[in-house]
Amino acid sequence: MPQWAPGGTPSHHPRPRAAWSRQARQAAARAEPIVAGAGLLLSSAASSVPGLLGLYGILATLGFSAASGVTAGLVVRHWFTERRGLAFGLVESGFGAGQFVFTPLSLLLIEAYGWRTTLVIEGILLVAAVGPLVGLLLRSAPGDSGPGPYGGPDPADRAGATPGRAGIRVREVLGSPLMWGLLAPFFVCGVTTTGLMDTQLVSIAHDHGASTALTGTAVGLLAAANIAGTVMSGPLSDRYHCARILALLYGTRALVLILLAPAPYGVWLVVLSVAFGLVDFATVAPTHLIATRHFPVESLGLIFGLLSMAHQLGASLGSYLPGVLHDLTGSYTPTLLGCSAALLVAMIGCLVVLPGTPATSGSDATGVTEPRSLTTDAA
């Protein structure tokens, strides 16, 4: 089994391979908004449900998924060797801010002009504005343009890690206990955020007798708090122990869900929504920072992809199963308490399994810990 530590995997002609890798990433970055926009434009003309599923559910989604945290995480890793947690937090907050702005805007456009015209407007925006801006401004790695990475060259790169190096296998990644220590909590993260709260909060609030106005206020403030919490988690991850930060975030979520179970109303529903928002996407920065500190650069695309897959699988279950349980029991209480228990297990797992080395200990002056061999993790 090959060694995955920097310089441990032999590579023939690394410079052409690295150059091709940069060109491929750049081409993908430019194509993402074009594909998504084309999917929206074609979806506006769909005449059947299967056609809409194919154009929007597959074509547009391919474009949107390519412009995901996986791609953004790799760009952050290459461009930042200092304050990388802050960069992760700012990038992730952009996803929340986009939802905060475009979800109500899309609803207004749909009500005023219909869904087909709304898709046309948003498709043109992606193709004519976002696509050219991405092509003009975004560079996948410092080698794609003049400026170097923020904080200077990465120690792992100086040690010989070459982006685009061959020989990385899913089996080797999944043989690392640290990988599972990241995947399992992130799966629970997806169940309880994008799954449970982002999908079911409106129904939970109405189940508790909240008015439409109060529910809308709670949802809106949750989204705003999500942006603030995501940004704050970045510099905290740079400074403090990432595993402990994750444990605190998952533990806080568990407490909020437990307090939601007794049917709070009025101001307490708003307070709990804000509290959950502060720890909603805040898990991304410390999770990605642990990955970049403890895995070699050539494995990060695969690792970020697996993390995103685990989160989305959790989100799909967290969206579907609470509705089924509610139909069976007439209450969200079993779901809320069950998710709280899962979050407490994730909290303990973070403390037991994850290293989360803070920047002031076990790392060099830039705060970057030298990535370890995955064969060492798997041993």
Residue 339's pLDDT is: 96
Please state the separation of Cα 260 from the chain's center in Å: 25
Instruction: Give ranges for CATH 1.20.1250.20 in the chain.
Output: 170-378
Q: In the predicted model, is pLDDT for residue 16 greater than 60? A: no
Per-residue confidence band for 152, with pLDDT thresholds at 50, 70 and 90: low
Q: pTM for this structure?
A: 0.74
* CA dist., res. 178 & res. 374, Å (int): 9
Q: Buried b / exposed e across 311-350, counting CB within 10 Å, b at 16+?
A: bbbbbeebbebbeebbeeeeebbebbebbbebbbebbebb
> What is the CATH superfamily name and number for domain 170-378?
MFS general substrate transporter like domains (1.20.1250.20)
Query: SS in 3 state form for 132-179?
Result: HHHHHHCCCCHHHCCCCCECCCCHHHHCCCCCCCCCCCHHHHHCCHHH
Token pair of 83 as six digits = 């304050």
Per-residue confidence band for 367, with pLDDT thresholds at 50, 70 and 90: very low
* CA dist., res. 245 & res. 202, Å (int): 28
| Least confident interval from 80-89, 155-164, 220-229, 330-339 | 155-164
Q: Which residues contact 31 (CB under 8 A, 6 or more apart)?
A: 63, 66
Q: What percent of the chain has pLDDT over 70?
A: 76
Per-residue confidence band for 294, with pLDDT thresholds at 50, 70 and 90: confident
Residue 363's pLDDT is: 41
Distances (CA, A) of 219 to 72, 127, 179, 202, 204: 26, 30, 33, 8, 11
Q: What are phi and psi of 164, to 5 degrees?
A: 95, 0
**Among the listed residues 137, 115, 161, the one whose alpha carbon sits nearest the alpha carbon of residue 297:** 161
Per-residue confidence band for 120, with pLDDT thresholds at 50, 70 and 90: very high
Regarding predicted confidence, which is higher, 324 or 360?
324
20-60 per-position pLDDT tens digit: 455 666 666 677 888 888 999 999 998 898 888 889 888 88
Q: In the predicted model, is pLDDT for residue 67 greater than 90? A: no
Per-residue confidence band for 299, with pLDDT thresholds at 50, 70 and 90: confident
Residue 145's pLDDT is: 58
Question: What single letter denotes the amino acid at residue 348?
Answer: I
Residue 259's pLDDT is: 93
